[in-house]
Amino acid sequence: MSVPTRDAWGQPIGPALPDWKAPEVPPRRALRGGFCEVVPLDPHRHGPELFRAFAADEDTRRWTYLPYGPFADEAAFRAWCQASASSTDPLFFAIIDVRGCAVGVASYLRITPAHGVIEVGHLNFSSQLQKRPAATEALFLLMQNAFDLGYRRYEWKCDSLNQPSRSAALRLGLSFEGVFRQAITYKGRSRDTAWYAAIDSDWPQLERAYRSWLAPENFTLDGSQRTQLSKLTAPLLVRQG
């Protein structure tokens, strides 16, 4: 935690940032890794592939904690995809696997360059992406890009009842910061929101943890991980919850 300084009246104030400059808004560009690519969402190219990937799931539980969906048919999903692709905040991306197929969606949102704060959200990973190295790498690429651009704070928020999302945030090295009660409403119900974040001083160690986990030698011939990412990130968490 930053050590406060004192103003002329002896009041504690935050540390000065004489050399910090507000980052740019994230550009629409591809982020490339070894297991996947994270590319700007294109409704014409990615829409049909995403619809098929999501439709292949046995149930619609993936939509429970999202403010939209499930969609009645491909036309309805296409309309959502078109609107999402034209948005600048949230800024949507498709996640492309090694076959070149769109298998998931992610976005930056609440992009606030003036304060150096950015959030990741609207995460929707099909069964073809879940629990695969590509899923983790996609989130690594988005976090890496944000800090490389100069953002100071990277946020993750979710319904406090969404335990898989909360567990994922901790696994990724984002520290728990509390719950905002009755923060929003969606789908006709109230939501308490759990907050997680990493800041720029966390990033060097987090990046090393990610790179260690993503290294080829961390995986067996059948694709199983030798070391869990959570084992590498848990010591870096400021707080769990």
Which CATH number applies to 26-236? 3.40.630.30
14-53 residue pLDDT tens: 999 999 999 999 999 999 999 999 999 999 999 999 999 9
Structural Rg of the chain based on CA atoms: 19
pLDDT of residue 193: 98
pLDDT band at 134 (very low <50, low <70, confident <90, very high): very high
Q: Are strands 153-159 and 117-125 parallel, antiparallel or unpaired?
A: parallel
pLDDT given at position 154: 98
Q: What is the domain partition of the chain in residue ranges? A: 26-236
56-109 pLDDT, tens digit each: 988 899 999 999 999 999 999 999 999 999 999 999 999 999 999 999 999 999
pTM of the shown model: 0.95
- Residue 89, Cβ density class (10 Å: 0-12 exposed, 13-18 middle, ≥19 buried): middle
Q: Which of 145, 139, 113 is nearest to 124 (CA)?
A: 139
